[in-house]
A and B are shown apart, each in its own frame.
Chain A
């Protein structure tokens, strides 16, 4: 019996120790004033408005810049700024949950599909009056200005653009296959021909794929949409109530992508590095593809030798030379208590060095205004090709239900690309699915 009592004393002591520790820690935590983190994620000022801004996907050097920026800006403008840094993947869930509860940061970043849902449901402040006082709104590219306009009102300020239409390719692999590195493919036919020549595979084991088809549902939608624009088509009618995928243009566009798998240029499951966040191109598996500026960043960081060997070309032409652009933007919360100061801060974020550092420099986004074109990364001649082709960028036709529409379209593209459906069947189903969603299904 005594051994049991001993054991009971030990565990009781442990419990009491634990309680004591917990209460001590609670008192300590309650008494500790919250300190500014790292280099100072908040800038105190004598008096003035407090602004909370949520920035997504900012890397450490970018954060350092922002933290310094808000101290200066806060001092100059007599405001106190705090930044909530978040990653992109969780940002939408965070903002929608907050909005559901009636709380959101004064300024928040949004992605390509955000304008119609947030604007139409009164999540964002209309900014026309503020922008009217800006003298440089024309400096933003037309496509990006269109993207943030909903029903004629401006609801956001773009801070960077993105596109995956430019041709990225390996100089050494071109030379090996007997192709001229100075002449990247310009048309669909050339792309398919060159891709076939660049593919190296034995018995279904691919050493190099001559093209890249990214097999993720949303990426499939976007790859298809680029081709659709190049085929002269549109995914919606003008008023965006009718999907136009089951059309000759749609068929050409989808067939273009499907043919890469059918012709054996890309393996049936797609080409992957097998490692998350390492592009297949950076893993030396792709010779030629249509990619983002971030693909260049990925290569530069992870595979410097491949980065040296990389060249860039303009987007492909079929009936048109075009690709779609994805616009990331700042919103001002409709329920903000400091609208003037928040709008002014957005302007500050989009001026001078801040505009370059936050959106473009750290993460290699495309500029959305001419003032950003002087960013250091675009001094590289290959990156300049991205710049010189922004004229071919066209905005997407986005609807409020696009978070549902994009994967619905992508699932049909996936079915076609994987051979589970014929191209015609996939397109017919695509239009059906989209119509159902638009009707509130």
Chain B
């Protein structure tokens, strides 16, 4: 499964870099003479960006506006502005159910799992990408194969496993008698630590890193762990940020697993809590959207934080050193 053609292009001749001085002069000249063209191009680009942004932002904008409307205004078509901006919908939402506690639970659980994913996926991904051991490729195929079974099929077996986990929640050594990991942070985190998706993602990223640095380090006698910790990991900022964002978000939005594994109000997560706004026959749209907005904040925060790492380019200037 290792792509071969791209790896050979990695070891580019070092002579390329020396063209730098001549380039900047040529660049300056081009900039002056092409100002108008550059302006038009940039404006067109911005226009495209804005049009696309409108298409993508639309529903989010709607859900925010709905969260500050009154109930009868909810069904006004499209993006209508509320007559009165009712920010106290938020206060009402928080008071209706134990929303803040649900939010804390979700944030805590998602953070723990995201961190676990980073640790587990980066180590396993590194091993699958860069280390050789017998059966490596077959094992990797099996790991990816686990993605091909829908969670609806494994829900009940996993639930029973978690419930009958030995020596937890009142269980004896054979897993009988109690609740195992159910209704606790354990059930919401530990079974979800495994990530085939994350391993696959990080393996692909490690494959795109130049092998030269690592090989050089190996010659110098660095241990495998040292290569991982000091070379591969720092360079994979964008990939780790991506995984952190995805893991956090998937955990945060997960509904079915927290639904079946929690029963106490204090253990519920935000999505399970928000579902209570769905009464029969009608839905408290304004409160539901207010609660949803509150629930979206941690995800957006993590996304904004992770964004810094996206433009962390891989400085291949290091190779010439």
A interface residue numbers (CB < 8 A to B) = 1, 3-4, 7-8, 11-12, 15, 18-19, 21-22, 25-26, 29, 34-38, 41-42, 52, 54, 57-60, 63, 82-90, 93-94, 97-98, 100-103, 105, 273, 275-278, 283, 292, 294-295, 297-298, 301-304, 362-364
Shortest CB–CB separation between residue B70 and chain A, in angstroms?
Answer: 11
Query: In the complex, A36 Cα to B266 Cα: how many Å?
Result: 7
B121 at the interface (CB under 8 A from A): no
Residue of A nearest to B266 (CB): A34
Give me the 4 closest cross-chain CB pairs, A-B, nearest first: A8-B234, A294-B281, A37-B98, A34-B266
Residue of B nearest to A84 (CB): B263
Shortest CB–CB separation between residue B239 and chain A, in angstroms?
Answer: 11
Residues of A within 8 A of B11 (CB): none
Q: Are A88 and B280 in contact (CB under 8 A)?
A: yes
Q: Are B281 and A52 in contact (CB under 8 A)?
A: no
B298 at the interface (CB under 8 A from A): no
Q: Are B97 and A38 in contact (CB under 8 A)?
A: yes
Q: Are B115 and A18 in contact (CB under 8 A)?
A: yes
Q: Are B315 and A25 in contact (CB under 8 A)?
A: no
Shortest CB–CB separation between residue A234 and chain B, in angstroms?
Answer: 28
Q: Are B282 and A302 in contact (CB under 8 A)?
A: yes
Query: In the complex, A213 Cα to B312 Cα: how many Å?
Result: 57
In the complex, chain B residues 70-129 whose Cβ is within 8 Å of any chain A Cβ:
71-72, 74-75, 95-98, 101, 108, 111-112, 115, 118
Residues of B within 8 A of A298 (CB): 281-282
Residue of A nearest to B260 (CB): A97
B interface residue numbers (CB < 8 A to A) = 71-72, 74-75, 95-98, 101, 108, 111-112, 115, 118, 155-156, 159-160, 163-164, 179, 182, 185, 229-230, 233-235, 237, 240, 255-256, 259-260, 263-267, 275-276, 278-285, 309, 312, 315, 317-318, 321
Q: Are B283 and A363 in contact (CB under 8 A)?
A: no
Query: In the complex, A301 Cα to B281 Cα: how many Å?
Result: 10
Q: Are B264 and A1 in contact (CB under 8 A)?
A: no
Q: Are A363 and B279 in contact (CB under 8 A)?
A: yes
Query: In the complex, A25 Cα to B229 Cα: how many Å?
Result: 25
Among B72, B74, B101, B263, the most chain A Cβ lie within 10 Å of the Cβ of B263
Q: Are B71 and A302 in contact (CB under 8 A)?
A: yes
Shortest CB–CB separation between residue A219 and chain B, in angstroms?
Answer: 13
Query: In the complex, A59 Cα to B264 Cα: how many Å?
Result: 18
Among A11, A35, A36, A294, the most chain B Cβ lie within 10 Å of the Cβ of A11
Residues of A within 8 A of B267 (CB): 34
Q: Are B233 and A41 in contact (CB under 8 A)?
A: no
Q: Are B282 and A277 in contact (CB under 8 A)?
A: yes
Residues of B within 8 A of A84 (CB): 263-265
Query: In the complex, A248 Cα to B271 Cα: how many Å?
Result: 48
Q: Are A4 and B234 in contact (CB under 8 A)?
A: yes
Residues of B within 8 A of A301 (CB): 71, 282
Q: Assuming A57-B280, A82-B265, A103-B182, what are 13 further A-B pairs, CB within 8 angstroms?
A: A7-B234, A7-B237, A11-B309, A18-B111, A37-B265, A54-B263, A90-B259, A97-B159, A105-B263, A277-B285, A302-B282, A363-B280, A363-B281
Q: Are B318 and A4 in contact (CB under 8 A)?
A: yes
> Given A37-B101, A103-B179, A301-B282, do A97 and B111 touch, yes or no (CB 8 Å)?
no
Across the interface, B264 reaches (CB within 8 A) one of A11, A34, A297, A364, namely: A34
Shortest CB–CB separation between residue A169 and chain B, in angstroms?
Answer: 19
Q: Are A94 and B279 in contact (CB under 8 A)?
A: no
Across the interface, B234 reaches (CB within 8 A) one of A12, A26, A278, namely: A12
Among B75, B237, B256, the most chain A Cβ lie within 10 Å of the Cβ of B75
Across the interface, B259 reaches (CB within 8 A) one of A1, A63, A93, namely: A93
Residue of B nearest to A35 (CB): B266
Residue of B nearest to A3 (CB): B315
Complex A-B: 19 CB contacts under 8 Å: A11-B237, A18-B111, A18-B115, A22-B111, A25-B111, A34-B267, A38-B95, A38-B96, A41-B265, A60-B96, A63-B96, A87-B276, A87-B279, A97-B159, A101-B163, A103-B163, A302-B75, A362-B279, A363-B280
Query: In the complex, A98 Cα to B276 Cα: how many Å?
Result: 19
Among A3, A18, A105, A362, the most chain B Cβ lie within 10 Å of the Cβ of A18
